[in-house]
Structure 1
Amino acid sequence: MTSTVDAHIERHRDGGLRLEGTARIGSPAVEEVLRDMPGDGLSYGDINRGRFDLLDVSPKPLVMSIDFDAGLDVAVAQYMSFVRGPVREWFAKRSTFPALLQSAREPTIAPWETNPDPTLLRGTVVLCVLDGRVEDAAALMRWYLQRDQFHRWDSLEYACAFDDAMRKRFTGYDAARSNQP
Protein backbone atom coordinates (compact mmCIF):
# COMPACT_ATOMS: atom_id res chain seq x y z
CA MET A 1 0.00 0.00 0.00
CA THR A 2 1.07 3.55 -0.58
CA SER A 3 -0.04 6.63 1.29
CA THR A 4 -0.39 9.90 -0.58
CA VAL A 5 -1.33 13.43 0.36
CA ASP A 6 -2.48 15.80 -2.36
CA ALA A 7 -2.61 19.58 -2.15
CA HIS A 8 -4.95 21.43 -4.48
CA ILE A 9 -4.31 25.14 -4.90
CA GLU A 10 -6.50 27.07 -7.28
CA ARG A 11 -7.09 30.71 -8.00
CA HIS A 12 -10.57 32.05 -7.42
CA ARG A 13 -12.23 34.29 -9.94
CA ASP A 14 -12.01 37.11 -7.36
CA GLY A 15 -8.22 36.80 -7.25
CA GLY A 16 -7.89 34.89 -3.99
CA LEU A 17 -6.58 31.36 -3.59
CA ARG A 18 -8.15 28.19 -2.29
CA LEU A 19 -6.15 25.36 -0.66
CA GLU A 20 -7.64 21.89 -0.19
CA GLY A 21 -6.10 18.57 0.69
CA THR A 22 -6.84 14.91 0.03
CA ALA A 23 -5.40 11.83 1.75
CA ARG A 24 -5.28 8.54 -0.16
CA ILE A 25 -4.13 4.99 0.30
CA GLY A 26 -3.75 2.76 -2.70
CA SER A 27 -2.04 -0.24 -4.18
CA PRO A 28 -1.08 -0.88 -7.80
CA ALA A 29 -1.73 -4.61 -7.27
CA VAL A 30 -5.23 -3.91 -5.93
CA GLU A 31 -5.88 -1.50 -8.80
CA GLU A 32 -4.92 -4.20 -11.31
CA VAL A 33 -7.35 -6.71 -9.78
CA LEU A 34 -10.19 -4.20 -9.44
CA ARG A 35 -9.80 -3.12 -13.05
CA ASP A 36 -11.25 -6.49 -14.13
CA MET A 37 -13.99 -6.66 -11.50
CA PRO A 38 -17.66 -5.75 -11.90
CA GLY A 39 -18.93 -2.59 -10.27
CA ASP A 40 -18.06 0.25 -12.59
CA GLY A 41 -17.00 3.34 -10.69
CA LEU A 42 -15.61 1.36 -7.75
CA SER A 43 -12.22 0.53 -9.22
CA TYR A 44 -10.28 3.78 -9.31
CA GLY A 45 -7.17 2.26 -7.74
CA ASP A 46 -7.52 4.00 -4.40
CA ILE A 47 -8.39 1.73 -1.52
CA ASN A 48 -9.56 4.74 0.43
CA ARG A 49 -9.46 8.50 -0.05
CA GLY A 50 -10.82 11.45 1.79
CA ARG A 51 -10.81 15.19 1.44
CA PHE A 52 -9.29 16.80 4.51
CA ASP A 53 -12.59 18.47 5.38
CA LEU A 54 -14.35 15.06 5.40
CA LEU A 55 -11.76 12.94 7.22
CA ASP A 56 -12.86 11.03 10.30
CA VAL A 57 -10.63 13.13 12.55
CA SER A 58 -11.05 16.02 14.90
CA PRO A 59 -10.77 18.93 14.56
CA LYS A 60 -12.03 19.05 11.01
CA PRO A 61 -10.28 21.61 8.82
CA LEU A 62 -12.18 23.93 6.60
CA VAL A 63 -11.22 24.49 3.02
CA MET A 64 -8.68 27.27 3.32
CA SER A 65 -9.60 30.37 1.40
CA ILE A 66 -6.82 32.87 1.10
CA ASP A 67 -7.85 36.39 0.25
CA PHE A 68 -4.45 37.62 -0.83
CA ASP A 69 -1.39 35.83 -2.16
CA ALA A 70 0.53 37.00 0.92
CA GLY A 71 -1.63 34.64 3.05
CA LEU A 72 -0.31 31.58 1.23
CA ASP A 73 2.53 31.01 3.72
CA VAL A 74 0.08 30.93 6.64
CA ALA A 75 -2.29 28.59 4.78
CA VAL A 76 0.54 26.23 3.83
CA ALA A 77 1.72 26.17 7.46
CA GLN A 78 -1.84 25.29 8.58
CA TYR A 79 -2.06 22.63 5.88
CA MET A 80 1.22 21.03 6.96
CA SER A 81 0.13 21.13 10.60
CA PHE A 82 -2.97 19.20 9.62
CA VAL A 83 -0.87 16.69 7.62
CA ARG A 84 1.37 16.09 10.64
CA GLY A 85 -1.59 15.63 13.01
CA PRO A 86 -5.08 14.55 11.94
CA VAL A 87 -4.04 13.19 8.53
CA ARG A 88 -1.37 11.07 10.18
CA GLU A 89 -4.09 9.71 12.51
CA TRP A 90 -6.31 8.94 9.50
CA PHE A 91 -3.48 6.97 7.89
CA ALA A 92 -2.81 5.13 11.17
CA LYS A 93 -6.41 3.88 11.18
CA ARG A 94 -5.66 2.21 7.84
CA SER A 95 -2.02 1.18 8.25
CA THR A 96 -2.42 -2.41 9.47
CA PHE A 97 -4.71 -5.20 8.37
CA PRO A 98 -6.73 -5.21 11.61
CA ALA A 99 -7.15 -1.42 11.39
CA LEU A 100 -8.08 -1.57 7.71
CA LEU A 101 -10.58 -4.39 8.29
CA GLN A 102 -12.21 -2.33 11.05
CA SER A 103 -12.33 0.84 8.94
CA ALA A 104 -13.92 -1.10 6.05
CA ARG A 105 -16.87 -1.99 8.32
CA GLU A 106 -17.48 1.54 9.55
CA PRO A 107 -19.90 3.97 7.91
CA THR A 108 -18.36 6.52 5.62
CA ILE A 109 -17.72 9.86 7.20
CA ALA A 110 -19.86 11.75 4.69
CA PRO A 111 -22.68 13.29 6.74
CA TRP A 112 -25.37 11.95 4.43
CA GLU A 113 -24.14 8.31 4.41
CA THR A 114 -24.47 5.66 7.11
CA ASN A 115 -23.15 2.68 5.16
CA PRO A 116 -19.59 1.45 4.62
CA ASP A 117 -17.66 2.78 1.66
CA PRO A 118 -17.84 0.07 -1.05
CA THR A 119 -14.52 1.16 -2.56
CA LEU A 120 -12.73 0.76 0.77
CA LEU A 121 -14.49 -2.54 1.41
CA ARG A 122 -13.64 -4.03 -2.00
CA GLY A 123 -10.07 -2.74 -1.87
CA THR A 124 -9.63 -4.27 1.57
CA VAL A 125 -11.02 -7.62 0.39
CA VAL A 126 -8.61 -7.66 -2.57
CA LEU A 127 -5.63 -6.52 -0.50
CA CYS A 128 -6.32 -9.26 2.07
CA VAL A 129 -6.53 -11.92 -0.64
CA LEU A 130 -3.31 -10.73 -2.27
CA ASP A 131 -1.58 -10.89 1.13
CA GLY A 132 -2.82 -14.43 1.79
CA ARG A 133 -5.42 -13.35 4.33
CA VAL A 134 -8.29 -15.09 2.57
CA GLU A 135 -10.16 -15.85 5.81
CA ASP A 136 -10.21 -12.14 6.70
CA ALA A 137 -11.34 -11.25 3.18
CA ALA A 138 -14.08 -13.90 3.22
CA ALA A 139 -15.33 -12.85 6.65
CA LEU A 140 -15.52 -9.19 5.61
CA MET A 141 -17.40 -10.03 2.42
CA ARG A 142 -19.80 -12.39 4.23
CA TRP A 143 -20.56 -9.62 6.75
CA TYR A 144 -21.14 -7.14 3.94
CA LEU A 145 -23.46 -9.39 1.95
CA GLN A 146 -25.61 -9.98 5.02
CA ARG A 147 -26.36 -6.27 5.42
CA ASP A 148 -29.81 -4.88 4.78
CA GLN A 149 -28.56 -1.58 3.33
CA PHE A 150 -25.75 -0.53 1.05
CA HIS A 151 -23.98 2.69 0.18
CA ARG A 152 -25.66 4.72 -2.55
CA TRP A 153 -22.88 3.65 -4.94
CA ASP A 154 -23.52 -0.01 -4.26
CA SER A 155 -26.24 -2.66 -4.13
CA LEU A 156 -26.61 -6.30 -3.15
CA GLU A 157 -26.51 -7.16 -6.85
CA TYR A 158 -23.18 -5.34 -7.38
CA ALA A 159 -21.69 -6.77 -4.19
CA CYS A 160 -22.69 -10.32 -5.19
CA ALA A 161 -21.21 -9.83 -8.67
CA PHE A 162 -17.93 -8.69 -7.07
CA ASP A 163 -17.96 -11.66 -4.68
CA ASP A 164 -18.63 -14.10 -7.56
CA ALA A 165 -15.80 -12.59 -9.62
CA MET A 166 -13.42 -12.86 -6.65
CA ARG A 167 -14.43 -16.50 -6.13
CA LYS A 168 -13.73 -17.31 -9.78
CA ARG A 169 -10.37 -15.55 -9.81
CA PHE A 170 -8.99 -16.65 -6.42
CA THR A 171 -9.47 -20.30 -5.46
CA GLY A 172 -8.33 -19.72 -1.88
CA TYR A 173 -10.94 -17.02 -1.45
CA ASP A 174 -13.57 -19.30 -2.97
CA ALA A 175 -12.66 -22.06 -0.52
CA ALA A 176 -12.81 -19.66 2.43
CA ARG A 177 -16.22 -18.32 1.30
CA SER A 178 -17.51 -21.89 0.77
CA ASN A 179 -16.55 -22.85 4.33
CA GLN A 180 -18.62 -20.07 5.86
CA PRO A 181 -22.13 -20.60 7.19
Structure 2
Amino acid sequence: MIGVAEVDGGGGAEVVLWHDGNKVWGIQADDGETYISGDVPAEILAKVEEYASEENGEDDPDYFNAILNLGGELTGYDCGNGFSESGPKPFEILDDPDVAAVLNGFPAALAAALAGKGFTASPSLDGYRTWYTAATSVPGLTAAVAIRIHRANFGGVTITGSVGIQSAAVAEVLSELPETARLASSSTDAEFGEIDDCRFDPERQLAYPVSHSMVAARDIGDGVDWVMKYLDGPMATWFAERSDVTGLVSRAKTTNVVRGQQNVNPRRLRATIAFCAAHGHHDAAADLAQWYLARTESHPIDSTSRASAFDAALREQFPEYARARYQQAERASGGPTSAM
Protein backbone atom coordinates (compact mmCIF):
# COMPACT_ATOMS: atom_id res chain seq x y z
CA MET A 1 0.00 0.00 0.00
CA ILE A 2 1.26 3.47 -0.90
CA GLY A 3 0.33 6.39 1.34
CA VAL A 4 0.56 10.12 0.64
CA ALA A 5 0.45 12.76 3.38
CA GLU A 6 0.48 16.56 3.29
CA VAL A 7 0.71 19.31 5.91
CA ASP A 8 0.29 22.33 3.67
CA GLY A 9 0.75 25.08 6.23
CA GLY A 10 3.84 23.44 7.68
CA GLY A 11 5.43 22.57 4.36
CA GLY A 12 5.44 18.83 5.03
CA ALA A 13 4.79 16.02 2.54
CA GLU A 14 5.47 12.30 2.56
CA VAL A 15 5.14 9.24 0.33
CA VAL A 16 5.46 5.83 2.00
CA LEU A 17 5.23 2.17 0.97
CA TRP A 18 3.73 -0.32 3.43
CA HIS A 19 3.64 -4.10 3.05
CA ASP A 20 2.13 -6.63 5.48
CA GLY A 21 1.82 -3.99 8.17
CA ASN A 22 5.47 -2.86 7.86
CA LYS A 23 6.85 0.36 6.46
CA VAL A 24 9.17 -0.61 3.59
CA TRP A 25 10.40 2.85 2.64
CA GLY A 26 9.47 6.51 2.84
CA ILE A 27 10.55 9.88 1.47
CA GLN A 28 9.57 13.05 3.28
CA ALA A 29 9.93 16.82 2.90
CA ASP A 30 9.72 18.91 6.05
CA ASP A 31 10.42 22.66 6.12
CA GLY A 32 12.74 22.52 3.09
CA GLU A 33 14.64 19.41 4.18
CA THR A 34 14.23 15.90 2.78
CA TYR A 35 14.38 12.67 4.79
CA ILE A 36 14.61 9.12 3.48
CA SER A 37 13.86 5.91 5.32
CA GLY A 38 14.32 2.38 4.08
CA ASP A 39 15.56 1.39 0.63
CA VAL A 40 13.87 3.92 -1.67
CA PRO A 41 14.18 2.75 -5.32
CA ALA A 42 16.61 4.76 -7.46
CA GLU A 43 13.91 5.55 -10.02
CA ILE A 44 11.75 7.08 -7.29
CA LEU A 45 14.61 9.31 -6.10
CA ALA A 46 15.33 10.35 -9.71
CA LYS A 47 11.68 11.26 -10.27
CA VAL A 48 11.62 13.40 -7.12
CA GLU A 49 14.73 15.29 -8.33
CA GLU A 50 13.09 15.92 -11.70
CA TYR A 51 9.88 17.21 -10.14
CA ALA A 52 11.80 19.34 -7.62
CA SER A 53 13.58 21.35 -10.33
CA GLU A 54 10.54 21.85 -12.60
CA GLU A 55 8.86 24.74 -10.76
CA ASN A 56 11.80 26.74 -9.38
CA GLY A 57 14.80 25.37 -11.30
CA GLU A 58 17.75 23.34 -10.07
CA ASP A 59 19.11 26.19 -7.97
CA ASP A 60 16.00 26.29 -5.77
CA PRO A 61 14.46 22.78 -5.78
CA ASP A 62 10.91 22.41 -4.44
CA TYR A 63 10.84 19.03 -2.70
CA PHE A 64 7.50 19.66 -0.96
CA ASN A 65 5.55 19.78 -4.23
CA ALA A 66 7.87 17.22 -5.82
CA ILE A 67 6.87 14.59 -3.26
CA LEU A 68 3.18 15.47 -3.65
CA ASN A 69 3.51 15.13 -7.42
CA LEU A 70 5.18 11.75 -6.92
CA GLY A 71 2.26 10.70 -4.75
CA GLY A 72 -0.15 11.71 -7.48
CA GLU A 73 1.75 9.69 -10.07
CA LEU A 74 1.90 6.57 -7.90
CA THR A 75 -1.66 6.57 -6.57
CA GLY A 76 -3.75 8.58 -9.04
CA TYR A 77 -4.70 11.03 -6.31
CA ASP A 78 -3.00 14.38 -5.83
CA CYS A 79 -4.47 16.68 -3.23
CA GLY A 80 -6.21 19.60 -4.93
CA ASN A 81 -5.34 18.53 -8.48
CA GLY A 82 -7.24 16.82 -11.26
CA PHE A 83 -6.67 13.27 -12.46
CA SER A 84 -4.90 12.02 -15.54
CA GLU A 85 -6.99 11.18 -18.57
CA SER A 86 -6.04 7.51 -18.77
CA GLY A 87 -6.07 4.63 -16.33
CA PRO A 88 -8.41 3.74 -13.45
CA LYS A 89 -9.61 6.51 -11.16
CA PRO A 90 -9.86 5.10 -7.62
CA PHE A 91 -11.01 8.46 -6.23
CA GLU A 92 -13.64 10.98 -7.20
CA ILE A 93 -13.73 14.67 -6.32
CA LEU A 94 -17.21 16.18 -6.05
CA ASP A 95 -16.60 19.76 -7.10
CA ASP A 96 -18.68 22.75 -6.21
CA PRO A 97 -20.53 23.79 -9.42
CA ASP A 98 -18.59 27.06 -9.59
CA VAL A 99 -15.26 25.25 -9.29
CA ALA A 100 -16.32 22.71 -11.91
CA ALA A 101 -17.26 25.54 -14.26
CA VAL A 102 -13.78 27.05 -13.95
CA LEU A 103 -11.99 23.72 -14.35
CA ASN A 104 -14.03 22.90 -17.45
CA GLY A 105 -14.08 26.36 -19.03
CA PHE A 106 -10.69 27.92 -18.37
CA PRO A 107 -8.44 25.65 -20.50
CA ALA A 108 -10.56 26.19 -23.63
CA ALA A 109 -10.82 29.94 -23.03
CA LEU A 110 -7.07 30.19 -22.64
CA ALA A 111 -6.51 28.08 -25.76
CA ALA A 112 -8.64 30.50 -27.76
CA ALA A 113 -6.60 33.47 -26.52
CA LEU A 114 -3.26 31.76 -27.12
CA ALA A 115 -4.28 30.81 -30.67
CA GLY A 116 -3.73 34.46 -31.55
CA LYS A 117 -0.08 34.00 -30.66
CA GLY A 118 0.25 30.77 -32.63
CA PHE A 119 -0.08 28.38 -29.68
CA THR A 120 -2.23 25.26 -29.75
CA ALA A 121 -3.26 22.95 -26.92
CA SER A 122 -0.92 19.97 -26.61
CA PRO A 123 -0.94 16.72 -24.62
CA SER A 124 0.46 17.25 -21.14
CA LEU A 125 4.16 16.51 -21.11
CA ASP A 126 4.41 16.00 -17.36
CA GLY A 127 0.96 14.76 -16.38
CA TYR A 128 -0.02 17.65 -14.11
CA ARG A 129 0.16 20.86 -16.15
CA THR A 130 -1.85 21.98 -19.19
CA TRP A 131 0.42 22.63 -22.17
CA TYR A 132 0.24 24.90 -25.21
CA THR A 133 3.00 24.90 -27.86
CA ALA A 134 4.00 26.93 -30.91
CA ALA A 135 6.70 26.83 -33.58
CA THR A 136 9.43 29.48 -33.36
CA SER A 137 11.55 31.28 -35.95
CA VAL A 138 14.39 28.85 -35.19
CA PRO A 139 13.89 25.57 -37.11
CA GLY A 140 13.41 22.66 -34.72
CA LEU A 141 12.74 24.87 -31.68
CA THR A 142 9.30 24.88 -30.01
CA ALA A 143 7.94 27.45 -27.57
CA ALA A 144 5.77 26.17 -24.74
CA VAL A 145 3.41 27.61 -22.15
CA ALA A 146 2.59 25.34 -19.19
CA ILE A 147 -0.24 26.22 -16.81
CA ARG A 148 -0.86 24.39 -13.58
CA ILE A 149 -4.58 24.42 -12.78
CA HIS A 150 -5.51 23.08 -9.35
CA ARG A 151 -8.16 23.31 -6.70
CA ALA A 152 -7.32 25.80 -3.98
CA ASN A 153 -7.27 24.54 -0.40
CA PHE A 154 -10.06 26.86 0.71
CA GLY A 155 -12.23 26.88 -2.41
CA GLY A 156 -11.89 28.08 -5.96
CA VAL A 157 -9.17 27.33 -8.48
CA THR A 158 -5.57 28.56 -8.52
CA ILE A 159 -3.33 28.79 -11.57
CA THR A 160 0.43 29.22 -11.90
CA GLY A 161 2.39 29.44 -15.13
CA SER A 162 5.74 28.94 -16.80
CA VAL A 163 7.21 29.07 -20.28
CA GLY A 164 9.89 27.02 -21.98
CA ILE A 165 11.67 26.15 -25.18
CA GLN A 166 12.11 22.57 -26.28
CA SER A 167 13.21 20.36 -29.15
CA ALA A 168 12.26 16.81 -30.06
CA ALA A 169 15.78 16.30 -31.40
CA VAL A 170 17.25 17.18 -28.00
CA ALA A 171 15.06 14.58 -26.30
CA GLU A 172 16.25 11.95 -28.79
CA VAL A 173 19.93 12.86 -28.51
CA LEU A 174 20.00 12.94 -24.72
CA SER A 175 17.96 9.75 -24.35
CA GLU A 176 20.65 7.84 -26.28
CA LEU A 177 23.57 8.96 -24.12
CA PRO A 178 25.59 6.23 -22.41
CA GLU A 179 25.33 6.16 -18.64
CA THR A 180 28.83 7.60 -18.22
CA ALA A 181 27.80 10.71 -20.18
CA ARG A 182 24.61 11.44 -18.23
CA LEU A 183 24.16 13.86 -15.39
CA ALA A 184 24.38 12.34 -11.95
CA SER A 185 20.95 13.27 -10.58
CA SER A 186 18.53 11.62 -13.01
CA SER A 187 18.23 8.84 -15.53
CA THR A 188 17.32 11.25 -18.34
CA ASP A 189 18.92 14.64 -18.94
CA ALA A 190 15.90 16.18 -20.70
CA GLU A 191 12.77 14.05 -20.61
CA PHE A 192 10.84 15.92 -23.29
CA GLY A 193 13.63 17.90 -24.96
CA GLU A 194 13.41 20.95 -22.72
CA ILE A 195 16.27 23.38 -23.29
CA ASP A 196 15.27 26.17 -20.92
CA ASP A 197 12.25 27.20 -18.86
CA CYS A 198 11.07 29.96 -16.56
CA ARG A 199 8.08 30.42 -14.28
CA PHE A 200 5.99 33.62 -14.36
CA ASP A 201 8.55 35.39 -12.18
CA PRO A 202 11.70 35.70 -14.33
CA GLU A 203 13.58 37.68 -11.70
CA ARG A 204 12.74 35.03 -9.07
CA GLN A 205 11.81 37.69 -6.52
CA LEU A 206 9.20 35.54 -4.79
CA ALA A 207 9.66 32.40 -2.70
CA TYR A 208 6.65 30.75 -4.33
CA PRO A 209 5.38 30.88 -7.92
CA VAL A 210 3.07 33.82 -8.63
CA SER A 211 -0.54 32.69 -8.86
CA HIS A 212 -4.04 33.81 -9.74
CA SER A 213 -7.33 32.61 -8.25
CA MET A 214 -10.76 32.07 -9.79
CA VAL A 215 -13.91 31.12 -7.89
CA ALA A 216 -16.59 30.97 -10.59
CA ALA A 217 -17.14 31.05 -14.35
CA ARG A 218 -17.33 34.84 -14.27
CA ASP A 219 -13.63 34.89 -13.30
CA ILE A 220 -12.38 32.90 -16.30
CA GLY A 221 -11.81 36.03 -18.39
CA ASP A 222 -9.68 37.57 -15.64
CA GLY A 223 -7.67 34.35 -15.44
CA VAL A 224 -7.00 34.44 -19.18
CA ASP A 225 -6.00 38.11 -18.93
CA TRP A 226 -3.61 37.25 -16.10
CA VAL A 227 -1.79 34.69 -18.26
CA MET A 228 -1.71 36.99 -21.29
CA LYS A 229 -0.33 39.84 -19.16
CA TYR A 230 2.76 37.78 -18.47
CA LEU A 231 3.08 36.50 -22.03
CA ASP A 232 2.82 40.04 -23.42
CA GLY A 233 5.22 41.38 -20.80
CA PRO A 234 8.17 39.71 -19.03
CA MET A 235 7.78 36.34 -20.75
CA ALA A 236 7.79 37.99 -24.19
CA THR A 237 11.21 39.38 -23.27
CA TRP A 238 12.28 35.95 -22.07
CA PHE A 239 11.34 34.35 -25.40
CA ALA A 240 13.01 37.17 -27.36
CA GLU A 241 16.29 36.54 -25.57
CA ARG A 242 16.19 32.97 -26.89
CA SER A 243 14.92 33.68 -30.40
CA ASP A 244 18.14 32.69 -32.20
CA VAL A 245 21.14 30.42 -31.70
CA THR A 246 23.29 33.28 -30.41
CA GLY A 247 20.74 33.94 -27.68
CA LEU A 248 20.51 30.25 -26.76
CA VAL A 249 24.29 30.00 -26.40
CA SER A 250 24.44 33.20 -24.36
CA ARG A 251 21.81 31.95 -21.93
CA ALA A 252 23.52 28.56 -21.68
CA LYS A 253 26.62 30.34 -20.35
CA THR A 254 24.72 32.14 -17.59
CA THR A 255 26.09 31.24 -14.17
CA ASN A 256 24.56 31.13 -10.69
CA VAL A 257 26.04 30.44 -7.29
CA VAL A 258 25.58 26.75 -6.45
CA ARG A 259 27.15 25.47 -3.21
CA GLY A 260 29.49 28.44 -3.07
CA GLN A 261 30.67 28.24 -6.70
CA GLN A 262 29.70 30.08 -9.87
CA ASN A 263 28.21 27.35 -12.05
CA VAL A 264 26.15 27.06 -15.19
CA ASN A 265 22.97 25.01 -15.34
CA PRO A 266 24.33 21.78 -16.88
CA ARG A 267 20.94 20.61 -18.18
CA ARG A 268 20.40 23.84 -20.07
CA LEU A 269 23.96 23.87 -21.39
CA ARG A 270 23.93 20.23 -22.53
CA ALA A 271 20.53 20.65 -24.17
CA THR A 272 21.78 23.72 -26.03
CA ILE A 273 24.85 21.87 -27.31
CA ALA A 274 22.68 18.93 -28.37
CA PHE A 275 20.23 21.24 -30.17
CA CYS A 276 23.01 23.02 -32.06
CA ALA A 277 24.69 19.75 -33.04
CA ALA A 278 21.41 18.18 -34.19
CA HIS A 279 20.33 21.18 -36.26
CA GLY A 280 23.52 21.99 -38.15
CA HIS A 281 24.99 24.68 -35.89
CA HIS A 282 28.15 22.64 -35.45
CA ASP A 283 30.59 25.48 -34.78
CA ALA A 284 28.30 26.95 -32.11
CA ALA A 285 27.96 23.53 -30.49
CA ALA A 286 31.71 22.93 -30.59
CA ASP A 287 32.55 26.37 -29.17
CA LEU A 288 30.08 25.95 -26.31
CA ALA A 289 31.38 22.47 -25.51
CA GLN A 290 34.96 23.71 -25.49
CA TRP A 291 34.01 26.63 -23.23
CA TYR A 292 32.32 24.25 -20.79
CA LEU A 293 35.14 21.70 -20.73
CA ALA A 294 37.66 24.48 -20.08
CA ARG A 295 35.89 25.59 -16.91
CA THR A 296 37.56 24.70 -13.64
CA GLU A 297 34.33 24.37 -11.62
CA SER A 298 31.86 21.53 -12.08
CA HIS A 299 28.21 21.60 -11.07
CA PRO A 300 27.38 19.07 -8.30
CA ILE A 301 25.43 16.90 -10.77
CA ASP A 302 28.13 17.01 -13.47
CA SER A 303 31.87 16.39 -13.60
CA THR A 304 34.79 16.69 -16.01
CA SER A 305 34.60 12.98 -16.84
CA ARG A 306 30.85 13.09 -17.47
CA ALA A 307 31.15 16.22 -19.60
CA SER A 308 33.99 14.65 -21.60
CA ALA A 309 31.93 11.51 -22.16
CA PHE A 310 29.01 13.69 -23.30
CA ASP A 311 31.32 15.44 -25.80
CA ALA A 312 32.62 12.08 -27.07
CA ALA A 313 29.08 10.75 -27.53
CA LEU A 314 28.12 13.76 -29.63
CA ARG A 315 31.28 13.44 -31.74
CA GLU A 316 30.32 9.86 -32.52
CA GLN A 317 26.73 10.76 -33.40
CA PHE A 318 27.41 13.95 -35.42
CA PRO A 319 30.43 13.84 -37.79
CA GLU A 320 30.22 17.59 -38.52
CA TYR A 321 30.34 18.34 -34.82
CA ALA A 322 33.35 16.04 -34.50
CA ARG A 323 35.03 17.87 -37.38
CA ALA A 324 34.43 21.23 -35.71
CA ARG A 325 35.91 19.94 -32.45
CA TYR A 326 39.03 18.63 -34.24
CA GLN A 327 39.43 21.96 -36.00
CA GLN A 328 39.40 23.62 -32.61
CA ALA A 329 42.23 21.33 -31.53
CA GLU A 330 44.16 22.21 -34.69
CA ARG A 331 43.86 25.92 -34.01
CA ALA A 332 44.84 25.45 -30.39
CA SER A 333 47.95 23.41 -31.28
CA GLY A 334 48.96 25.51 -34.25
CA GLY A 335 48.99 22.52 -36.60
CA PRO A 336 46.81 19.87 -38.21
CA THR A 337 45.16 17.19 -36.10
CA SER A 338 43.90 13.98 -37.68
CA ALA A 339 40.18 13.32 -37.33
CA MET A 340 39.41 9.99 -35.67
**Smaller-chain TM-score bracket:** 0.7 to 0.9
Q: For the Cα contact (< 8 Å) 1:56–1:90, is it kept in 2?
A: no
* Moved segments of 4+, more than 3 Å: 56-59, 67-76
User: Highest Rg: 1 or 2?
Assistant: 2
How many angstroms apart in 2 are the aligned matches of 1:157 and 1:165?
Answer: 12
Q: For the Cα contact (< 8 Å) 1:15–1:67, is it kept in 2?
A: no
Match of 2:211 in 1: 64
CA positional deviation for 1:105: 0.6
Cα offsets for 1:85-138 (capped at 9, x unmatched): 11111111111011111111112599x984222222112112212232211111
How many angstroms apart in 1 are the aligned matches of 2:236 and 2:220?
Answer: 22
CA positional deviation for 1:171: 1.7
Higher relative contact order (CA 8 A, sep 6+): 1
The aligned amino acid for 1:34 is L
Q: For the Cα contact (< 8 Å) 2:165–2:196, is it kept in 1?
A: yes
The aligned amino acid for 1:13 is N
How many angstroms apart in 2 are the aligned matches of 1:114 and 1:85?
Answer: 29
The aligned amino acid for 1:63 is V
Match of 1:101 in 2: 249
1:43 aligns with one of 159, 184, 190 = 190
Aligned residue-pair number = 179
Cα offsets for 1:1-27 (capped at 9, x unmatched): 100101111112222432111111111
The aligned amino acid for 2:148 is H
How many angstroms apart in 2 are the aligned matches of 1:64 and 1:20?
Answer: 5
* 3-state SS, counterpart of residue 224 of structure 2: helix
How many angstroms apart in 2 are the aligned matches of 1:56 and 1:97?
Answer: 23
* 3-state SS, counterpart of residue 115 of structure 1: strand
How many angstroms apart in 2 are the aligned matches of 1:116 and 1:139?
Answer: 15
Question: Residue 159 in 1 paired to residue 299 in 2?
Answer: no
How many angstroms apart in 2 are the aligned matches of 1:154 and 1:7?
Answer: 30
How many angstroms apart in 2 are the aligned matches of 1:43 and 1:67?
Answer: 33
TM-score normalised to structure 1 length: 0.84
Q: 1:121 to 1:178 in 2, by over 3 A?
A: same
Cα offsets for 1:27-84 (capped at 9, x unmatched): 112211111023133122111122223x25899x952152744655434322210111
How many angstroms apart in 2 are the aligned matches of 1:109 and 1:92?
Answer: 25
Question: Residue 142 in 1 paired to residue 290 in 2?
Answer: yes
How many angstroms apart in 1 are the aligned matches of 2:225 and 2:154?
Answer: 23
1:179 aligns with one of 327, 332, 335 = 327
How many angstroms apart in 1 are the aligned matches of 2:200 and 2:303?
Answer: 27
* 3-state SS, counterpart of residue 179 of structure 1: helix
Query: Which consecutive unaligned segments of at least 5 residues does structure 2 have?
Result: 1-140, 333-340
How many angstroms apart in 1 are the aligned matches of 2:233 and 2:161?
Answer: 13
How many angstroms apart in 2 are the aligned matches of 1:139 and 1:5?
Answer: 30
Q: For the Cα contact (< 8 Å) 1:23–1:50, is it kept in 2?
A: yes
Q: 1:74 to 1:113 in 2, by over 3 A?
A: farther
Question: Residue 15 in 1 paired to residue 155 in 2?
Answer: yes
Structure whose residues are more often strand by fraction: 2
How many angstroms apart in 2 are the aligned matches of 1:16 and 1:118?
Answer: 38
How many angstroms apart in 2 are the aligned matches of 1:67 and 1:26?
Answer: 30
How many angstroms apart in 2 are the aligned matches of 1:143 and 1:178?
Answer: 15
Q: For the Cα contact (< 8 Å) 2:161–2:200, is it kept in 1?
A: yes
